[in-house]
Amino acid sequence: MSKEIILIIGGPGSGKTTLINGLSEKGYICYPEISREVTLEAQQQGIDQLFLTEPLLFSQMLLDGRIKQFENASLEADEIVFIDRGIPDVLAYMHYIGDSYPTDFDLACKKHTYNRIFLLPPWESIYESDQARYENFDQAQLIHHHLVETYERYGYQLIEVPRATVDDRIDFIMNKI
């Protein structure tokens, strides 16, 4: 088996972080979502929502971080590496807000390709807003649509993970690998 870099994607509040944490607890190499890190760092500098006030700067920071995650994942000794969100997520969010971006964003999506993409659907009963997640559930559903559209545009076959317990979701994913 060759190296598998696998993404877990989905709109806000669909259970990605919980799933990544569950995979990590089972001993898999997992890379966390970095947008919270970027958002919280900006908040410490007095910018409440960097994505809303300077979306291109925020997106560039995410793009750089996700490229670094991809490069680091390729160097891991383990055969399987899971990442919470990928490079095309950056473009999906830019589409969501109707903003444009430089061509290097598109080139980064074409250059760094993932082996499999697992999509978590919107799940209202587990959805929660917090200081880093400002979207409501309707917005989360719209973001989900943009994610699907963007990843499919880059030729990815998305594997939808059923709404279930964390262990059942992990079993589903492992049976598809």
Does the pTM of the predicted model rise above 0.85?
yes
C-alpha to C-alpha distance for 44 and 38, rounded to whole angstroms: 10
Query: Residue 118: which CATH number?
Result: 3.40.50.300
Q: In this model, does residue 133 exceed pLDDT 80?
A: no
pLDDT of residue 134: 61
Structural domains in the chain (count): 1
* Confidence band, pLDDT 50/70/90 cuts, at residue 37: confident
Domain region containing 135 = 4-176
Are the beta carbons of 33 and 87 closer than 8 angstroms? no
